[in-house]
Structure 1
């Protein structure tokens, strides 16, 4: 595995493979013959130093079941360049990923800010279609920088792709960064 993959059987989480843990095998039990297997592969970026330069990305070998390669499977990219067309999770449904979430907030005077996502696990955030970046509860960074030009006076839109789950439906804009642990902590 050249990145990070979440595996689901019949829509239920079955496990995660991570390149940083050097994992390339996940043992999964199928509850029934003909169960649906879904693999969501997340691009974790490229190494730009050391021996990992040029590492392969995505699924780098055969997907097998009991040692036999699976056949007739398809790959679908998420259309992240057209955010309004995505299937968003309703406000009355549990925040369990992977799912897209959308909300609005009001700004009087745009200024540099930081997006805090306490209670959200791992994903990507956009404001007004601008990709702020990835968030991950394990850090080290705890807030995403929001440049003033991204914000508009009045109503603004926030879109989140949550890959796991959240314990809340709220986020905060603040004027303070939180870079996680530093030597000064």
Structure 2
């Protein structure tokens, strides 16, 4: 039973780290990446659809994206979604192709984005610590029900702490890598 709790905690912590990694792909780092616009929703005949389901997104060079909607009448809707987004990007339309030029990041903006990365990293660490707390609580419940000994509980808590330390180290590595990516000019 304790092994199941530890495996569950390890799986959930790995998912937290992966979710944090995924959240960071939405941050603009100065290089063009289709992930920047992945989260955008486009009004497609009355329902909001992800941009990737109504258009193809490609990187044409290091600082620009090319978006080609599947249907010609979707060009205006895609353009509107980009303008209304929180990305601060201005699309340029040429026929059925939408181009987005990513301006270089200023030093101030890089520092702001670094703060966002650290904040998101702290949130991920809190989520990992909550998973640790839940796992320790489950182990203590087993002790209350007299299904395990106190020695088993201590060993399980130590193991859970080691798993937690590993997950937090992973988050720190992701933060460091993203920070280097942001500060590279």
Higher RCO structure (Cα 8 Å, ≥6 apart): 2
Structure with a larger share of its residues in strand: 1
Query: Greater helix percent: which structure?
Result: 2
One fold, TM greater than 0.5? Answer: no
Q: TM-score, normalised by structure 1?
A: 0.27
